[in-house]
Amino acid sequence: MRIRLRGDDARRSLLALVAAVLVAAAGFPATHAAVPLATPESVGFSTAGLKTFEQQMNVLVDEGQLAGITTLVSRRGKVVAFNAYGYQDLEAKTPIAKDTIFRIASMTKPIAGVAMMMLFEEGKWALDDPVAKHIPQFKDLKVGTPDGLVVQSHPMTMRELMSHTAGFDVSAAEAYRKVELTARDKPLQAMIDKLATLPLAVQPGTDWRYGPSVDIQGYVVEKLSGQSLDVFLQKRIFDPLKMKDTGFWVDKSKLGRVSRVHTYDAEKKLIAAPSSSDPSVKPVFFSGSGGLLSTTEDYWRFTQMLANGGELEGARLLKPATIELMRKNVLADGVKVDTYGSPQEGLGFGLDFAIMMDPAAAESPQAKGTYYWGGAFGTWFWIDPVNDVIVVGMIQNLNGSTPGRGTPELRRRSAKLVYQALSDSTR
């Protein structure tokens, strides 16, 4: 069966009913409560424009480039488009749904960053603190150079740890692979103990390297709060924000809602990837860098809290000034964000978010000050405070966010279409 969501509202309703029947027949209860949708025109969007956006995302499924996709668009706190199309398991032909659960990988990082900033507001650490104040094992770390080990030009700071410039190497570094730095059967303490024996790759503050920094932040959260990272996130973030399907593992009753990961064969045909770890098993290593599972709606609730200045539906997690601090570029002059092997123009980095500093240089329609990130399986989001727009998208592909590895470039494509649909740019 091929699912098509084009046409008038009656056709959409019929297809939604068919999908629900298929889900029920497969033994997966359709328990998701519908997110109320505002009319696009009520917040300055074009209905036709958003329909084009959804159709252009859906055609990637029809063409066999994606198994399934969900997208959510909101403005001024109101959801105006929420679409689920295709399959969460292509092999089993299980339809994707609005409450499908995805591995969000590095979209865990902003959540860990919020946890850090909650402790920041409690006075438990400061941006200019040496990291060694909170992790004494790092006090005497040297820096590796072609001429041998040298001392740090200045002690790495918490600000640098929050922005991938503390001097640690990229995650794929040979030295990290040799010691199995983030072994999933060991606790966070084991990672810290290993890092304490290895030199830094560069002097603190001089280079942006996408490595273990947020896993280290997760360790700091545990140490300063006296709680394991999973407990802290559940009690302090997920419960207050009513993120009922977000966590480091899922209850067995939710396994039928977890998306399969997909990949491409030698002929570039989309196929189901081999199963890896069981998402219903509680992990030993709680990765602040990339361990969470979540739904599109849950993650939107998190992003809406950020857009609201730290509050959602009466639950305040952070002060507005703290959110402002998180989305302010902290990179030194000349330091560029380098996610895919080459520096990216027009971008800065705050505290666990990338920041759009120069849309023209970045060739992006997003407004200056937009903050965002994505995950390795292709999930993505952005928050545009100028236009008060949030977009959350979810797919589930191996190397789903890496250019040239088969997955369509969804982030740029979706941004172009969403801003084309924005008919009133006044906030």
pLDDT, tens only, 62-99:
999 999 999 999 999 999 999 999 999 999 999 999 99
> What value does the mean pLDDT take over residues 130-147?
97
Q: Give CA–CA dist 374/351, Å, rounded.
A: 15
329-384: pLDDT as tens digits: 999 999 999 988 788 999 999 999 999 999 999 999 999 999 999 999 999 999 99
The candidate with the shortest Cα–Cα distance to 221, out of 291, 119, 351, is 119
Q: Give CA–CA dist 50/82, Å, rounded.
A: 10
264-288: pLDDT as tens digits: 999 999 999 988 789 999 999 999 9
How do strand 262-264 and strand 148-150 relate by DSSP bridges?
unpaired
Selected residue with higher pLDDT from 233 and 4: 233
- pLDDT at residue 32 is higher than 90: no
- pLDDT at residue 3 is higher than 60: no
Q: Give CA–CA dist 343/209, Å, rounded.
A: 11
H or E segment to which residue 161 belongs: helix 158-161
**Does the pTM exceed 0.75?**
yes
Q: Give CA–CA dist 69/302, Å, rounded.
A: 20
Selected residue with higher pLDDT from 140 and 8: 140
Tell me the β-bridge partners of 263.
271
H or E segment to which residue 80 belongs: strand 78-89
Token pair for residue 146?
Answer: 């072609």
Q: Give CA–CA dist 290/53, Å, rounded.
A: 28
Q: Give CA–CA dist 224/184, Å, rounded.
A: 22
Helices then strands (H, E): number in the chain?
Answer: 14, 16
Confidence of residue 5 (pLDDT cuts 50, 70, 90): very low
Assess contact for 182 and 215: CB atoms under 8 A: yes
CA distances in angstroms from 62 to 12, 94, 256, 348, listed in the order given:
16, 15, 23, 36
> What value does the mean pLDDT take over residues 41-54?
98
The candidate with the shortest Cα–Cα distance to 162, out of 411, 355, 380, is 355
Q: Which of 103-112, 143-152, 221-230, 275-284 has the lowest mean pLDDT?
A: 275-284
Computed over every residue of the chain, the mean pLDDT equals: 92
* Percent of the chain at pLDDT exceeding 90: 88
